Amino acid sequence: MADLLLNGHFMAHADSDDFGDLHISNAADTPMHPNAFDLTDAEKIEQITDHFAQIMNILGLDLDDDSLKGTPKRVAKMYVQEIFKGLNTQNKPAVTTFDNKYKYRRLVIERNIPLQSTCEHHFQPIFGVVHIAYIPNNKVIGLSKLNRIADFFARRPQVQERLTMQIAEELKRALQTDDVAVYIDAKHMCVQARGVEHHGASTITAEYSGKFLNEATKQEFLMAIHSKMPD
């Protein structure tokens, strides 16, 4: 076990469990091994089905029971085709941008985008909202594409800090501008359903770049996402 540097202070003998509980991530890319795409989705589902059946058997569950015998296959399909489909770059949404013919130069904000992800430390759900803003340069993007980009990166095992950065970096690439802001407010079931079991806690992360590093622009964005919708 190695010493861990946190906020300038060393914590002695931190193990892998400590890293998970401290919510530390040291890379913006999702950790993937070199052979991640050697198997087809069908092959992954088949293997996960077998392995999950073993887990259920170890827990003492009767896989001959009508209610349980289909569970391993259901879980495998859910992992590959639904909640972790963002691991496969073939599922990345096609992002179409348009020329900014009207020369719009103020904030474009898509707020309260529903977020569903999975904590990579305990494989527990993460639920919340994403707020995205950008200032157009030469390109604008269809609003629904902002939702699709956020959902793509959320559909994989994640830490919220990395998710925030991945969405921001993809937007900067697609829009060809650094003037991007991403703000996530989410609840983690690894906090609510286990460990401290604190049901009211939520986690906020934000990434600002370009003109959003200007305090006035940042505050305009924050005021907009926190304002109440008219009745």
Q: What are 117-162's pLDDT values in tens digits?
A: 999 999 999 999 999 999 999 999 999 999 999 999 999 999 999 9
User: Which ranges of 32-159 would DSSP assign to H, the alpha helix?
Assistant: 41-58, 71-78, 143-154
Residue ranges of the domains in the chain? 45-87, 93-226
- Among candidate residues 121, 131, 170, 192, the one labeled active-site is 121
- Among candidate residues 110, 131, 158, 160, the one labeled active-site is 160
Residue linked to tokens 């599922």: 91
> Can 121 be counted among the known catalytic residues?
yes
Mean pLDDT throughout 181-205?
86
> Can 215 be counted among the known catalytic residues?
no
Encoded tokens for 149: 């980009």
Higher pLDDT, 23 or 194: 194
- Among candidate residues 23, 81, 116, 122, the one labeled active-site is 122
Q: Is it true that 45-87 and 93-226 share their CATH fold?
A: no
What pLDDT was estimated at residue 140? 94
What pLDDT was estimated at residue 27? 58
Mean pLDDT throughout 98-115?
94
> Can 13 be counted among the known catalytic residues?
no
CATH dotted code for 93-226: 3.30.1130.10
Give the DSSP H/E element, type plus range, for residue 166.
helix 160-175
- Fold annotation for 45-87: GTP Cyclohydrolase I; Chain A, domain 1 (1.10.286)
What pLDDT was estimated at residue 189? 85
Cβ proximity of 160 and 28 under 8 Å: no
Tally the residues of the chain. 231
d(CA 189, CA 78): 18
Cα 147 to chain centroid, rounded = 12
Which of 24-33, 85-94, 203-212 has the weakest average pLDDT?
A: 24-33
Mean pLDDT throughout 20-25?
48
What pLDDT was estimated at residue 11? 38
- Residue 212: is its pLDDT beyond 70? yes
* Side-chain half-sphere CA neighbours of 202 within 13 A: 12
- Among candidate residues 110, 158, 161, 188, the one labeled active-site is 188
> Can 54 be counted among the known catalytic residues?
no
User: Average model confidence (pLDDT) for the chain?
Assistant: 88
Amino acid in position 71: T
d(CA 111, CA 140): 17
What pLDDT was estimated at residue 195? 72
> Can 190 be counted among the known catalytic residues?
yes
Note the pTM of the prediction, 2 decimals. Answer: 0.86
Residue linked to tokens 């009508």: 66
> Can 160 be counted among the known catalytic residues?
yes
